[in-house]
Amino acid sequence: MPVRPIPQIGDPVLRKPTAPVDPGSAGSDEVQALITDLIDTMTHANGSGIAANQIGVSLAVCVIGVSKNPRYPYKPPIPLTVLINPEITLLDDEQWLNNEGCLSVPLRGNLPRFMNIEVSAIDRHGEPFTQVYRGLTAGTVQHEVDHLNGGLIVDRMEDSRSMTTWENFATHGMGEYLDRIAPVIARTEPKVDADG
Ligand code: ZN
């Protein structure tokens, strides 16, 4: 059963902070099966990331990955990455205003994210690593780490009037949003030449 049901806002499992994984058990069958289910469920739902409590498992494991995603066509690519026990260090205090959706929340809305972060985590093979993330990808990582801490996007929305359905966002919000994030992407993503 690799594609698992995704609990929705109001399910207590989303509000309970997840437990760290014993680093020595990252390679266990249990954790490896969890990682496989996370990847399969995220891919099936066209998510850009998913946290273990979003498939009902209260462990500090999440996955991020974007490759030509129809749900988030504006997101820069992210290599498929498993983050076990991720911890975020802010590299500065700069923030930007994102608009996010969530596989566990039917609406989307505006919320601030930090621009530049460093993440320390354990990878799917049990090896520690650190990685700097910027811009939209940093936002995706912060979103997943919020999940692992029992948070949801609605907690960070400073103006509930920005909340929309996906359909209404596409009609009324996407144009302004793309203008808003263009400079963020330009600053934080490697340049791709016109022939590329
Ligand atoms: Zn989410």
- Cα distance between residue 62 and residue 8, in whole Å: 17
Please give the pLDDT value at position 196.
46
How far, in Å, from the CA of 187 to the mean position of ligand 1?
25
- Per-residue model confidence as pLDDT tens digits over 91-122: 999 999 999 999 999 999 999 999 999 999 99
Residues in the chain: 196
Of 144, 167, 176, 189, catalytic = 144
Answer yes or no: 158 catalytic: no
The low-confidence residues of the chain, meaning pLDDT below 50, are 196
Please give the pLDDT value at position 76.
86
Please give the pLDDT value at position 164.
98
Please give the pLDDT value at position 1.
57
How far, in Å, from the CA of 41 to the mean position of ligand 1?
13
Q: Ligand 1 (ion): which residues have CB within 5 A?
A: 102
- Cα distance between residue 37 and residue 55, in whole Å: 8
- Cα distance between residue 133 and residue 114, in whole Å: 10
Please give the pLDDT value at position 171.
97
Please give the pLDDT value at position 189.
87
Place of tokens 């509930």: 160
Please give the pLDDT value at position 194.
53
